[in-house]
Amino acid sequence: MSINLNKRRVVVTGLGVVSSIGIGIDEFWKNLLAGKSGISKVSSFDVSKHDRKYAGEVKNFDPQEFVSKRKIPFMGRASQLAIAASKLALKDAGLKVKKVSSSKTGVCMGTTMGEPQIMETLDEECFLKKEYVIDKNSAFSYPASSIVNNISLDYGLNKRTILFSNACAAGNYSIGHALDLIRSGKADMMFAGGADAFSRISFTGFSRLYAMAPEKCQPFDKNRKGMIPAEGAGMLLLETYESAKRRGARIYAEVLGYGLSCDAHHMTNPSSKGIAKAIKKAVDNANVNPFQIDYISAHGTGTPENDKAECKAIKSVLGKRVKDIPISSIKSMLGHTMGAAAAIEAVACCLAIYNREVPPTINFEEKDPECDIDCVPNKSRKMGIDVALNNSSAFGGNNCCVVFKKV
C-alpha cells in the first residue's frame, strides 16, 4: 500500500517549557491564565549603571535536574534550557529516550543570541583578568549550533538537526521546517522549538536601542514604552497523526501549515505589509479562511512600532472579522525571550486549544486607536478554539506565522 507523504497529518503530542513564570507546562499554564508576571529586577549581573533594571529571568532553574553533572561545564545556559524543555516535552508525550533514538527523529531549534554568556566569560578572562589563554571547551561551546547539537547528542540523534538563527521568529521557523520534514517522510518525529539565555549582551544592546520599558511590558496599550528582555526555552514534540493514534497519545493540536516572509524593510522597524504577507501565506497554506480563526497569539512586544504594524497587518488580512478574534500577547507576562518567544507562544497556542481557554494580555490600561483589537485585557477567557494562529516577527523583516487546529 502506498502512502501519499505530502498528506501526512502532523500533530503535537508533547510540550516542554522553561520560563520566568514556570518550568513545565502545569506551572507555566496556571500562571499564564492567572496573569502572573515573571518580570523582576535583574539579579544575574550588575545593572547599576544601566537605565533599565528589569527582565524576565528564570530564577529557579537547576540544570542538574536535566543534564548530567559532568556535561554541565561543557555547555552554555541556552543549551541547558533547551535540553530541559526537550526532556519535559518527551516526558509529556509519554515517550522514552530509546523510542526517539531508534526512530527517524530530528531536532529543529531557533535562537537569537546562541550562547552569549560564554563570550562574556571569555571577554572577562581576556580583557579584565588579562588571561589570554582561551579554554578550548568554552571555545567549542560558543557556536550557536551547539544548542541543537547538545540536544542531538543527548538523545543519540546524529541526523536531521538544524538551527535557525533568524532572531525572534526562529521558533516558528523551526516548527514549520519540522512540519515539512515529517510531511515529506524524511522524519517521523521531530523536536521543534527555541531557546535563548539572558545575557549582558542582549540586555545592553536593547537598552542602547532605547527599545526597553522601565518596569513592565504593555502590549497594545496606548502608553506602552517598550519590550522587556527575558530568557527561556519552548519545545514541541511533533509526530504523525497515525503514530500518535496508534500509541494512544494525547494530542494537543494539529499543525496545519505556516507562512514565511522576509521583507527587508528595515533593520529594526517592522513592515505591516511583510507581516501581512506571512499571515496570508499561513492561512492559505493551512487551507483555512478568516471565519475559522478563533484566536491569535500575537508577537506583541510592547514597542510602539511593532504593535501598530502587527495590528495593521492582521486587519489587512482578516478585515472586519478581526474585531471578533481575541488577540493576546503573553510577552506581557514572560518578557521577550528572543529566539524562544515564538516556540513558547506555540506551546501556549496548543494549551489554549486543548484546555479551551485564552491567556490574557496583562498591564493593559488604556486603549490605543491604532491597536483597536480585542487583546484579552488583564484576564483570561474561557472559550472553544478550533483554529489558532501563532504570529512572530524578527529584526530584518523575518516573519513567520504557524496555524494550529483542534483535533
DSSP 3-38: --GGG--EEEEEEEEEETTEESHHHHHHHHHTT---
186, β-bridge pairs: none
Can 168 be counted among the known catalytic residues?
yes
Are both 208 and 326 inside the same structural domain?
no
Which candidate, 253, 336, 237, places its Cα nearest to that of 19? 336
Q: Is a pLDDT exceeding 70 seen at residue 137? A: no
- Give the mean model confidence (pLDDT) for residues 240-263: 94
Residue 219 has pLDDT above 90, yes or no: yes
202, 226: one domain: yes
User: Contact at 8 Å (CB) between 207 and 316?
Assistant: no
Answer yes or no: 336 catalytic: yes
C-alpha distances (whole Å) from 198 to each of 148, 229, 334 are 18, 8, 13
Q: Is 226 found in the same domain as 363?
A: no
Please report, for the domain that includes residue 222, its CATH number. 3.40.47.10
- Residue 82 within a domain: yes
Q: Which has the higher per-residue pLDDT, 143 or 90?
A: 90
Residue 380 exposed, middle or buried by CB count within 10 Å (0-12, 13-18, 19+): middle
The tally of domains found in the chain comes to 2
| Domain boundary, last residue among 213, 246, 279 | 246
Q: For residues 302 and 226, is the Cβ–Cβ distance under 8 A?
A: yes
Q: Are residues 161 and 280 in the same domain?
A: no
Residue 186 has pLDDT above 60, yes or no: yes
- Classify residue 116: in a domain, yes or no: yes
* Residue 271, pLDDT score: 78
**pLDDT tens digits, residue range 11-67?**
999 999 999 999 999 999 999 999 999 999 999 888 888 889 999 999 989 988 988
Q: Are residues 200 and 276 in the same domain?
A: no
In a domain, 147, yes or no: yes
Q: Is 108 a catalytic residue?
A: no
pLDDT for residue 206 is more than 50: yes
Q: What is the phi/psi pair of residue 200, to 5°?
A: -65, -35
* CA proximity to 299, closest of 358, 361, 355: 361
The whole-chain average pLDDT of the chain stands at 89
Q: Are 105 and 15 contained in the same domain?
A: yes
Percentage of the chain with pLDDT > 90? Answer: 64
In angstroms, how far apart are the furthest CA atoms of the chain? Answer: 67
Q: Does one domain contain both 200 and 311?
A: no
Q: Which residues are paired to 219 by β-bridges?
A: none
Residue 3 lies in a domain: no
Range of the domain at 238: 10-246
Residue 203 has pLDDT above 90, yes or no: no
Q: Where is the domain boundary, 246, 273, 296?
A: 246
Residue 263's closest CA among 276, 250, 251? 276
Q: Examine the domain organization and report whether 214 and 111 are in the same domain.
A: yes
One domain for residues 186 and 260: no
Active-site residue (options: 108, 177, 217, 299)? 299
Q: Is residue 282 part of a domain?
A: yes
Residues near 267 by Cβ (< 8 Å), separated by ≥ 6?
395, 396
Query: What is residue 320's predicted lDDT score, i.e. its pLDDT?
Result: 87
pLDDT reported for residue 5: 47
SS3 helix, strand, coil % of the chain, rounded to 5? 40, 20, 35
One domain, residues 210 and 264? no
Residue tagged active-site, from 108, 168, 350, 400: 168
Does 4 fall in a domain? no
* Structural domain contains residue 192: yes
Same domain, 212 and 359: no
Residue 5 lies in a domain: no
What are the tens digits of pLDDT across the range 226-248? 999 999 999 999 999 999 999 99
Over residues 119-131, mean pLDDT? 69
Higher pLDDT, 143 or 57: 57
Q: Are residues 144 and 239 in the same domain?
A: yes
**DSSP H or E stretch at residue 189:** strand 189-196
User: Residue 330 pLDDT more than 80?
Assistant: yes
Among 203, 223, 246, residue at a domain's last position: 246
pLDDT at residue 6 greater than cutoff 70: no
CB under 8 Å, gap of 24 or more: what pairs does 214-217 form? 214/52, 214/54, 215/39, 215/54, 216/37, 216/39, 216/54, 216/332, 216/363, 217/39, 217/301, 217/302, 217/331, 217/332, 217/335, 217/336, 217/363
Closest CA to 280 of 300, 265, 312, 258: 258
Q: Which of 108, 311, 336, 350 is catalytic?
A: 336
